[in-house]
């Protein structure tokens, strides 16, 4: 199907480009032309470097979760649009849409699409379209209009209950462009707008108000689960020692402490007494 081929091609190209960019920044091992034995021993090391660079590429928030904040500074309108584009082409976006389409087909959800590869392609395409429109409304349009920060700020503090509670609260609370907390109107309104727009391409039986709000509730639940995954995503890679970027905390950066006052000069007789 064209939808599946396009999604697979985009995912492969993105991962290949990311791996190539990572490899260019890594120092290349020096080769000794007069020592053929050293060259043979470097082959396993090259394989290890390739595997490590692949894991690092997959672990970067800019590839998997571009919305995880790594900088406490606010985003302008242009950067919010760039973030929306990054979310739309992230491999995780295609993987979740592909998995969701498979689950829907197994449950025979959206029966108007039918079964087989044709039905799967339609489900996959509609899932991609709805996720992209949700990101457009939430990450860019509404966030720019209401001056909300669409990024997810990892707390990196507390135990399991505290971090899960924090992830759940980010559905209704978010950071504003001024650095304060405010209602997460983009996160709550954008899914409803995306599902309303989906009525233009979903089967006729799915275009009722009841079906629309049912899909809206499901999307809010998926966003909640996504927040929990984002909360622990940096911790997983940090524990493996392959995460080089520490995300910004949900708290404001601590003020820089004032330098201590300079010590007063000591008298020579006191210095000599101290040395004795």
Q: Quick: pLDDT tens for 173-212.
A: 999 999 899 999 999 999 999 999 999 999 988 899 999 9
Domain boundaries, the chain: 2-26+49-239
Q: What is the rounded distance in angstroms from the CA atom of residue 44 to the CA atom of residue 111?
A: 51
Q: Which residues pair with 68 in a beta bridge?
A: 152
Q: How many CB atoms lie within 10 A of CB 114?
A: 14
pTM above 0.85, yes or no: no
Closest CA to 198 of 188, 189, 208: 208
Please compute the mean of the pLDDT values over residues 247-253 and round it to a whole number.
Answer: 55
**147 backbone φψ class: left, alpha, beta (φ>0; ψ -120 to 50):** left
- Quick one: pLDDT at residue 109? 83
pLDDT in tens, 28-75: 444 545 545 444 444 555 555 666 655 555 555 567 788 888 888 889
| Three-state DSSP string of 155-172 | CCCCCHHHHHHHHHHCCC
Q: What was the pLDDT predicted at 246?
A: 53
> How wide is the angle at C-alpha 69 spanned by C-alphas 254 and 54, nearest 5°?
125
For the ranges 127-141, 147-161, 190-204, the lowest mean pLDDT is seen at 147-161
């Amino acid at each position: 199907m064209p939808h599946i081929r396009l999604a697979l091609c985009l995912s492969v190209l993105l991962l290949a480009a990311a791996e190539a960019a990572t490899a260019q920044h890594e120092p290349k091992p020096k080769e000794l032309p007069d020592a053929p034995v050293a060259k043979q021993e470097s082959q396993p090391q090259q394989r290890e470097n390739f595997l490590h660079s692949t894991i690092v590429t997959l672990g970067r928030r800019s590839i998997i979760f571009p919305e995880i904040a790594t900088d406490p500074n606010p985003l302008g309108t242009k950067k919010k649009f760039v973030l929306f584009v990054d979310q739309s082409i992230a491999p995780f976006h295609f993987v979740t849409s592909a998995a969701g389409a498979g689950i829907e087909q197994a449950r025979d959800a959206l029966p108007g699409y039918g079964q087989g590869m044709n039905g799967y392609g339609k489900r996959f395409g509609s899932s991609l379209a709805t996720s992209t429109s949700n990101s457009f409304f939430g990450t860019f349009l509404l966030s720019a209009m209401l001056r909300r920060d669409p990024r997810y700020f990892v707390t990196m503090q507390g135990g399991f209950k505290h971090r899960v509670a924090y992830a759940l609260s980010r559905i209704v609370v978010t950071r504003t462009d001024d650095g304060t907390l405010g209602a997460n109107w983009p996160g709550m309104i954008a899914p409803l707008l995306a599902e309303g727009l989906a009525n233009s391409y979903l089967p006729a039986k799915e275009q009722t108000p009841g079906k629309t709000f049912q899909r809206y509730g499901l999307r809010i639940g998926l966003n909640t689960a996504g927040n929990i995954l984002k909360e622990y995503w940096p911790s997983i890679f940090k524990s493996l020692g392959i995460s080089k970027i520490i995300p910004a905390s949900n708290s404001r950066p601590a003020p820089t402490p004032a330098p201590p006052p300079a010590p007063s000069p000591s008298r020579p007789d006191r210095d000599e007494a101290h040395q004795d």
